Amino acid sequence: MTSTTAPLLAVDDLRVHFQLPGTGWFGSGKQTVKAVDGLSIQIERGQTLGLVGESGCGKSTTGRAILRLAPITGGTVRLNSRDLTTLSAAELRPIRRQMQIVFQDPFASLNPRHTVEQIVTEPIWVHNLRPERERVARVRELLTLVGLPGSAMGRFPHEFSGGQRQRIGIARALAAEPDFIVLDEPVSALDVSIQSQILRLLLDLQVQFGLTYLFIAHDLAVVGQMSDQVAVMYLGRIVETATREALYQAPQHPYTQALLSAVPYPDPEIEAKRRRVILTGEVPSPVNPPSGCHFHTRCPIAADRCRVEAPSLRTIGPGHQASCHFAGGPPPELQGAKPGTSLRASP
């Protein structure tokens, strides 16, 4: 992780704020949704960063902002050391080929009126990647890569299952020959049996083409299979980031511990001893985030200090950062509780 070269993707202090239309007369009472609010991540070439958080915490917005598909309020996004946030649409065009996206909903992500061939040819056509006469062969090759027969070419999306459509979406992303792909919950909408097939396909393609992934998920269950580094997100911010091993074995932030306690364990004996931390209460609105630590309204070990003072993202180990006043050791005023250790029974 301590490579001397710059990471493929470096996001620094990213902010995406949406202005909601005013509720009052004359547009007064305008509210701001801080969907992403000071988020920093880095992904090394050929690696996968898992981005995890509950629904509505700003994961998709983060992915889209990185690809300049959501309006960026502040911060920088560097791909190959080049800041994308200042580029004009025209300057961005050639760079768009290098970064692609795979969506969660396999039914909404493909144009129902286009054939598979039209869908997969589009990136080749837009970026003029192959001579005209080689394009059909290239589409066939891409379909084979994602495990679809060439006979799929003339068919329409509605003729395929969810998993097959997701493969078409992956083929479309690959057609641009990208370096970096945002995988926005690519298996969340699929049956469990299909999920592992798609995940394996994504891993194979990553090795084959040296792809770099931002893998978005709403729980820690699948992220473990996919990621080298994991970042946990809450209300538009990273609350903990660590290597996969560190995060699963020694989660420091109470939120990470809660998410982790919800993941079933394959070993039934350990599974029986697993302690669940149930998060109570609703996810607070990103329009009016709580004072101090954003998590204090739901944190099982919140102290008075948490309500007023916002914790910063502190380094507590190599490549391991957490944003909790008590991360890295037991809190002085809470001798009994052990927030610094895993709530999961030790495996």
Partner 1 sequence: MTSLQLPSDTDTISGEASRIEAANSPMRQSIQRFFRNRLAAIGLVFVVVITGGGLLAPLIATTSYDYSVLRDALKFPPCADPKGSLPFPDCMFAKYPLGTDAIGRDFWSRLIYGARTSMIVGFSVPLITLAIGLPLGAAAGWFGGRVDSTVLRLVEFMTAVPSILLALFLLTLFGHDLQNVIIFQGITGWVGVCRLGRAQFMTLRERDFVTAARALGMSEWSIMFRHVMVNAAGPIIVMFTLGIPGAIFGEAGLSFLGLGVNDPIPSWGKMVAESSRFASVYWYLAMIPTGCIAVTMLAFSFLGDGLRDALDPQGQR
Ligand X SMILES: Nc1ncnc2c1ncn2[C@@H]1O[C@H](COP(=O)(O)OP(=O)(O)O)[C@@H](O)[C@H]1O
CA–CA gap between residue 12 and residue 42 (Å, rounded) = 8
Place of tokens 């891409």: 142
Binding interface with ligand X (CB under 6 A): 18, 33, 35, 53, 55-61, 286
By CB under 8 A, is residue 100 in contact with partner 1?
yes
Partner interacting with residue 301 (select from partner 1, Mg ion, ligand SF4, none; CB below 5-8 Å by kind):
ligand SF4
Q: Which of 300, 323, 160 is nearest to 235 (CA)?
A: 323
CA distance 5 to 258: 35
Whose Cβ is closer to ligand X: residue 71's or residue 154's? 71
Under the rule (CB under 6 A), what is the footprint of ligand SF4? Answer: 253-254, 293, 295-296, 299, 301-303, 306, 311, 324-326
Residue 161 binding: pick among ligand X, ligand SF4, partner 1, none (C-beta 5-8 Å cut-off by kind): partner 1
Q: Among 230, 200, 205, which residue's Cα sits nearest to residue 216?
A: 230
187 vs 293, beta carbon nearer ligand SF4: 293
Binding mask 168-187 for partner 1 (x = CB under 8 A): -x--x---x-----------
Q: Which of 76, 197, 243, 249 binds partner 1 (CB under 8 A)?
A: 197
Residues 6+ apart with CB under 8 A from 315: 321
Q: Return d(Cα 88, Cα 104) in angstroms, integer.
A: 28
The answer to the question of residue 152 lying near partner 1 (CB under 8 A) is: yes
Considering only residues 20 to 39 of the shown chain, the ones binding partner 1 according to CB under 8 A are none
Cβ 119 to partner 1 shortest distance, Å: 8
User: DSSP string spanning 127-187?
Assistant: TT-S-GGGHHHHHHHHHHHTT--GGGTT--GGGS-HHHHHHHHHHHHHHT--SEEEEESTT
Question: What count of other Cβ atoms lies within 10 Å of the Cβ of residue 336?
Answer: 6
Positions that interact with Mg ion (CB under 5 A): 60
**Interface with partner 1 (CB under 8 A):** 64, 67, 69, 92-94, 96-97, 99-101, 103, 105, 108-115, 122-123, 126-127, 147-149, 151-152, 154-156, 158-164, 167, 169, 172, 176, 190-191, 193-194, 197
